Amino acid sequence: MNLLDGLWGVLDLLLVAVLLLLAVAAVLSSDRRRSMMLFIVFGLVLALVWARLHAPDIALAEAAIGAGLGGALLMATLRRDTHQQTDRFPQHPALVWGAGVLVMVLGTAIAWGLLSILPTVEQTWRKGAAVDAQLAFSGVSHPVTAVLLNFRAWDTLLELAVLLAAILGIRALGYVRATYVTEAAFSQLAVWLVPLLILMAGYILWAGAHSPGGAFQAGALLAGAGILLRLAGYSSAGLPTARWLVRLGLVAGTGVFLLVGLGLLGWGQGFLHYPVAYAKWWILLIEMLATVSIGMTLTLAFMGGIPQKEAA
Amino acid sequence: MILDALSVLLLLLGLFFFVSGLLGLWRFPNTFARLHALTKADNLGLGLIMTGLLFQVPDVLWAIKFVLVWLLALVASAVNAHLIAVFLHRQQERHDESA
């Protein structure tokens, strides 16, 4: 048993070392394409690190959003950028090192600040026990979902609002010309991978109530399906073609979340304080609409906000 | 006990293919050869590791999930390799035309 623990220890140290190396390499690489590749690999290794820390929810989100969708977005950006002949960062070594040192100082300061306030929070800073004690009143049986959608629902609402603000910003930049090459191989793949992705998104959403999963991971899977459709040559990427439907879909998550909160406030419950008997259903409603909104937002972000109609 | 031994053997075999694929990725001269090395790791290596893990599953549902993961990885790696190869092939053709 001891040998096995030692092996895990070595593996964990290796993972951390690789993570740091990838981060440094991604930042210092002068070639943009290489930087992006390294960043994607960094995301995957980071997902492994989260998994080793027994945080499967974050590992899922990191792999799907950080590495998968982030990578797709970066690649799409790179494609748009090919018209400019330059493919190098203006890098002055002093500037790079200066920025690096500055970030390190800032990071150390933030870490030190956090560490200095932690012990003041009721002798222990681990909230796991408190969450477990209250879990029965949350409407779900998975502690992470309970925190995200009930105990700290306010934070999650703001996260959704940030996503909404981001897509509104992207859309405000106006039309973009499509820059992808559609691939025959993708249309073959899309035929049976897209239904599977939608099914998986539904499962992950439902599973969020009792095990790792939830709206953000499910939304990322839907976005994966959308991007696949777009690359396979469907110009609308499976999104509704009616404008008002797209707009409705984008605001649905944030909007309904807010309305439920305000409604409960009006009902005398307090903002986002679900009555215990119905908590599960309120959470499910919010998570379902959030999934749709997140999927739409990420797919549209990949397509540049307002995709221009292609000449058929 | 015998099942454990089988698992270990298959996992080690799978690991061997992964290491070979990695070596190929490093040492092979061109992208087509590197793709060839990679697909060995992806398909056979992952397949062997999956099979090794199948002897350790608590119930049938786990087994189904494992097999599903392997199949998805197979499809993804095949499509990826195909796309990269097609892209390179076109590039070379264009290069030949201009030469």
Q: By the CB < 8 Å criterion, does A67 face chain B?
A: no
pLDDT at residue number B56: 87
pLDDT at residue number A184: 73
Phi, psi for A31 (deg, rounded to 5):
-95, 125
Q: How far apart are CA A144 and CA A131, in angstroms?
A: 9
Among all chains, which residue has been given the structure tokens 């012990």?
Answer: A119
When the pLDDT of each residue in chain A is averaged and rounded to a whole number, the result is 84
pLDDT at residue number A1: 59
Among all chains, which residue has been given the structure tokens 């409705």?
Answer: A248
- CA-angle at A122, arms to A116 and A127, nearest 5°: 95
Q: How far apart are CA A204 and CA A295, in angstroms?
A: 13
Model confidence at A112: pLDDT above 70: yes
Q: How far apart are CA A53 and CA A56, in angstroms?
A: 8
pLDDT at residue number A101: 92
pLDDT digits (tens, 9 = 90+) for A35-50: 888 999 999 999 999 9
Q: Give the relative orientation of helices A32-52 and A2-28 as an angle to the nearest 10 degrees.
A: 160
Q: Are A213 and A60 in contact (CB under 8 A)?
A: yes
C-alpha distance from B99 to closest chain A C-alpha (Å): 22
Q: pLDDT tier at A312 (50, 70, 90 boundaries)?
A: very low
Chain B residue with CA closest to A196: the answer is B72
pLDDT at residue number A199: 92
Chain A residue with CA closest to B73: the answer is A193
pLDDT digits (tens, 9 = 90+) for A4-26: 788 888 989 999 999 999 999 99
pLDDT digits (tens, 9 = 90+) for A221-254: 999 999 888 888 888 888 888 888 989 999 999 9
Q: Which tokens belong to A228?
A: 């696949």
Model confidence at A311: pLDDT above 50: no
C-alpha distance from A68 to closest chain B C-alpha (Å): 13
* Between residues B9 and A120, the one the model is more confident about: B9
Chain A residues closer than 8 Å to B75 by CB: 189, 193
Strand partners, A31: A88
pTM comes to 0.79
Q: How far apart are CA B31 and CA B80, in angstroms?
A: 13
* Between residues B77 and A106, the one the model is more confident about: A106
- Amino acid identity of A238? G
Q: How far apart are CA A71 and CA A35, in angstroms?
A: 11
Chain B residues closer than 8 Å to A186 by CB: 79
Residue from B67, B71, B75 to probe the interface with A (highest A Cβ count within 10 Å): B75
pLDDT digits (tens, 9 = 90+) for A138-185: 778 888 888 888 888 888 899 999 999 999 998 888 777 766 667 777
